[in-house]
Amino acid sequence: MTSISVDCIWPIAAELGEGPVWCAAETALYFVDIKGRSIHSCDEHGRTRRSWPTPESIGFLQPMSRGGLVAGLKSGLHHFDLIRGVFKLALDVEPGARGNRLNDAFVDSSGCLWFGSMDDAERSPSGALYSIDDNGRAVCHDDGYVITNGPCKSPDEKTFFHTDTMKRIVFAFDVSEDGLLSAKRPLLEITNGYPDGTAVDADGCLWVALFGGGRVERYSPRGTLIQSVHFPCDNVTKVAFGGNDLRTVFVTTAWKGLSPSQRQAQPLAGGVFAFRSDTPGLPQHSVSRGFQREYS
């Protein structure tokens, strides 16, 4: 396997950096600090930096086709107006599960938003996998997760991937023409680290960030390990493809869970990293279905 060098493009020291999203129209990378309650943005090289506070923990951001972003906050799905820095609740996904928060998301080519929920205390299997239908309702596809992660689809969108982080399993599902999931089966079982956020490249290979594993691994569509990319910090959280050719891989990390001595030994923990891939990723889509509406 060819060794890949990684660069820290922003040593921001996020407590729980997550959810990198490349917005090609803005040539900008967005990501969140879940525990630091903040949104951050920069260009491909880590410059042109901007930050916004959030009123509560934030699990993800995804672009909306009419402008702005949809944000998965602890209380539900919100519209986020970048210009005014204002959040507006769009949907309370789990009104009866106040111990949960939203965590990790994906938008498919139809503009449908997929995302998960999880126990904020990381103990109870109260999390579930959702999508938003055309009427703006949350549809539950699977449940029983302590920590949901890594929703994404294969290039032909006939296979859906989803991660049970605490069980260390990445599952594959079949996707029907009407968007329903079936035939759940384990694709990957990780032993050295916890599978976190994932992304699929143009060849259909799955890139998996490993929390506590200090690396990103690339697997074939059938689950064969192809490549490992190592990082100077243990807690690697999610990958996203971007840049003009979709061959720049952005990676978020976290210092959450590290002891003081580990943090001293890993000064770049919580930074945002980038490396180059021979294979491009898939384009980032925008949310255009379900609860789209103009800001008032």
Write the CATH number for 69.
2.120.10.30
**Residue 3: its pLDDT value, please?**
75
- CA of 250: how far to CAs of 36, 115, 145, 281, 285, in Å? 20, 20, 26, 11, 17
196 is catalytic: yes
Run of H or E residues at 265: helix 260-265
Query: Residue 283 domain-assigned?
Result: no
Query: Residue 294 domain-assigned?
Result: no
Query: Residue 286 domain-assigned?
Result: no
Query: Residue 292 domain-assigned?
Result: no
246 vs 134: CA distance, rounded Å:
29
Q: Residue 193: which domain range?
A: 7-276
**Residue 294: its pLDDT value, please?**
46
Query: Residue 258 domain-assigned?
Result: yes
Which candidate in 104, 108, 196, 201 is catalytic?
Answer: 196
What domain count does the chain have?
1
**Residue 296: its pLDDT value, please?**
37
Query: Residue 285 domain-assigned?
Result: no
What 8-state DSSP symbol labels residue 65?
T
Q: Torsion angle of alpha carbons 224, 230, 236, 241, nearest 10°?
A: -70
Q: Enumerate residue ranges in the chain where pLDDT < 50.
A: 1, 294-296
Neighbours of 84 (CB within 10 A): 10
What 8-state DSSP symbol labels residue 262?
H
**Residue 291: its pLDDT value, please?**
67
**Residue 293: its pLDDT value, please?**
54
Residue pair 171/164 in contact by the 8 Å Cβ criterion: yes
Q: Which residues, other chains included, contact 291 with Cβ-Cβ below 8 Å and sequence gap of 6+?
A: 70, 77, 90, 91, 132, 136
What 8-state DSSP symbol labels residue 260?
H
Query: Residue 282 domain-assigned?
Result: no
**Residue 2: its pLDDT value, please?**
59
**Residue 262: its pLDDT value, please?**
97
Query: Residue 163 domain-assigned?
Result: yes
